[in-house]
Structure 1
Amino acid sequence: MKENKYDDPVFFEKYSQMSRSQQGLEGAGEWETLQKLLPDFAGKRVLDLGCGYGWHCIYAAEHGASSVTGIDLSEKMLEVAREKTQFPQVRYQCMPIEDIDYPENSFDIVVSSLALHYVPSFDAVAKKVNSCLAPGGVFVFSAEHPVFTAYGTQDWYYDETGAILHFPVDNYFYEGKREATFLGEKVTKYHKTLTTYLDGLLTNGFAIQRIVEPQPPAHMFHIEGMKDEMRRPMMLIVSARKARKV
């Protein structure tokens, strides 16, 4: 059984209070950057890996996608997604990202928002995405930045007064499981290097289009802790196109 922290009642309640949970895409600090990298959804078949509340599925449908499939391991997340979604061309499935097994050429676009750091192997996911994408199909994903995931705790170093000193980066090349603290709860994530993400795309039949380390927009600096995100990268966004079958 894959770990599913988002169905833990305490964690889910805390997550539901985040701005990205209550305000949707506009409440996500990386959205303005991610939006610019998304392809045209009109008439396209879309797969969302780790769809959560379904915000990106809804966005794709609003922008003309012919069909949208959102998968997530959390029944609680999918319950909210189904309540929010009013588009008949959107369907949700409860399953782990690692278990996708769609026929070849099933989708034109695959998106994933802040979910791949919960998956042990990016290489395995890239292979499956390549298989289910149509020729020339697009894969756009965001994930926690390797600088952010390397040390594990994902917290700053503080001085004796509680002021931030710096962010720790250690054991960078030792990939694998990390026990992070997110919303005051212990959460298992998987650290991967930048090489693993980018070379993993290239060796699995993709041509990289864009690589962006999103910065929080200035108009969100008033949110607690948001301005501090300018001190180190927290996320990585990559857009790639299927160049060949593997």
Structure 2
Amino acid sequence: MPWTEITRPHYERRCPRYASDLTDEEWALIAPHMPSANRIGRPRKTDLREIVNALLYMASSGGAWRLLPKDLPPFSTVQKYFYRWREEGLLRTISNSLVMAAREREGREASPTAGVIDSQSVKTTERGGIRGFDAGKKINGRKRHIVVDTIGLMVGLVVHAADIQDRDGAPAVLKSILKRWPWLRHVFADGGYAGPKLKGALRKIGKLVLEIVKRPNGAKGFEVLPRRWVV
């Protein structure tokens, strides 16, 4: 999205502490999903808004747990809530709710019927977690495989070894989101997803139509392609 006098103020963040902190308006959207305090046992002393602020700080800065600033909750407390919410599916529920709200705000149906799939290989450390060598990108690490709707909102994500080709990793990504987005029918992709093998795999997991968006013949350098540019 280009920066203009209209769009810049809309996305500008002026927070009293960190740019990643939630605004009151943003917290109002997330707060209804937060778990209630237990009626039995010691009263909750942790501010859940500060837990979310800490997670957003981690996501935006890419820092280690132990590098959380001292004015945020202890990293061990933030870790505990993160793992609990991840396992309970709360983070996914919040993400899906925000996607639906944003789509309705744009005048669209809450559940998307079309999406765009793509991947990105990133280098990782030599220890811990899955990894593989992406021969095409010359990267040893993991591959982030995502699906977005046609306005660029993420509706699916799977992380796997970088040595898995796009057409082989796509079925797992799409299968993982069909229960959440049952009306998804059309998927746009680049040439890396072409071939009968993937189309055959998609027929087994749902009524999905795969459309390959190719670069025009003779195109040189970067060129914005229909549908694919949003991912």
TM-score bracket, shorter-length normalisation: under 0.3
TM-score, normalised to structure 1's length?
0.26
**Structure with the bigger percentage of helix:** 2
Q: Which has the larger radius of gyration?
A: 2
**Structure with the bigger percentage of strand:** 1
